[in-house]
Amino acid sequence: MELTVKNLDVKYSDKKIVKDVSFHINTGEIATIIGPNGSGKSTLIKAVSRCLKISRGDIFLDKINIKEKKTKDIAQELAVLPQVKNVSSDISIEELVSYGRYPHLKFGKRLGKEDKDIIDWALEKTGLQDMRKRFVITLSGGERQRAWIAMSLAQKPKILILDEPTTFLDISYQLEVLELVKELNETLGLTVVMVLHDLNQAARYSDKILVINNGELCDFGEPDKVISSCLLKDIFRIDADIYDDKINKCTYFIPRKTIA
């Protein structure tokens, strides 16, 4: 599914946080939003996923303005993995994943055979089938993140939105989560929009990168065109050397020092 954003403004009270942002993401692309702390990345992602009201502009899913769509229809097409996730202590993985089916249930109906098959499929895709009865609070960070991704998958979305999916994970779990996202993108044709802080990971796992600075979209394009010493100097205030990773076929950099 394509995602198009046109002239988007988002405000908190009277303060404009996202300023006239426009972009287009093709079906099956992974697009990653990067930018300094407080630049408006989460606000943008929350607005796109309809968790925040927009003050101006339009959002289109496959060229249809979401203002013309029912909330339930949007929930069937777009799954969101927020940054902060709360779960009560007695919820099992299986139960959490079943919540992903709720946007598809008719009023007052219980989960049917098809829903249960989809829950099994989501657990299998994320490698959680053998631990499905475990309580979510007993899981490691990486397992917990996979459980939330499984819940999003059970929604059978066409677009998956993830706000900093690797935060608080050690490097091995970070890669595990990003590899899973990539696999789901490739095997299911899912369009993915995510926020990442690690710019090298953004370069490696994305088809497109959006750079947000002070609420404005200041660059948008393929990682090897966007990740440059200029960007690192001007937006992230670091001196860095840029290299070509021949194995992963992507750009990477080594930071040298901060710029005062």
State which of residues 12, 102, 168, 243 lies at the interface with ligand ATP (CB under 6 A): 12
State which of residues 35, 100, 103, 142 lies at the interface with ligand ATP (CB under 6 A): 35
Instruction: Name which of residues 114 to 143 contact ligand ATP (CB under 6 A).
Output: none
| CB closer to ligand ATP, 12 vs 243 | 12
CB of 188 to ligand ATP, least distance (A): 27
Segment interacting with ligand ATP, rule: CB under 6 A, options 33-41, 67-75, 99-107, 251-259: 33-41
Asked if residue 38 binds ligand ATP (CB under 6 A), the reply is yes
Segment interacting with ligand ATP, rule: CB under 6 A, options 30-38, 108-116, 140-148, 153-161: 30-38
Segment interacting with ligand ATP, rule: CB under 6 A, options 1-9, 38-46, 113-121, 136-144: 38-46
Asked if residue 42 binds ligand ATP (CB under 6 A), the reply is yes
Asked if residue 32 binds ligand ATP (CB under 6 A), the reply is no
In what side-by-side order are the strands of the sheet with 208-213?
78-81, 159-163, 191-195, 30-34, 208-213, 216-221
CB of 257 to ligand ATP, least distance (A): 21
CB of 88 to ligand ATP, least distance (A): 24
Asked if residue 37 binds ligand ATP (CB under 6 A), the reply is yes
Residues that bind ligand ATP (CB under 6 A): 12, 17, 35, 37-43
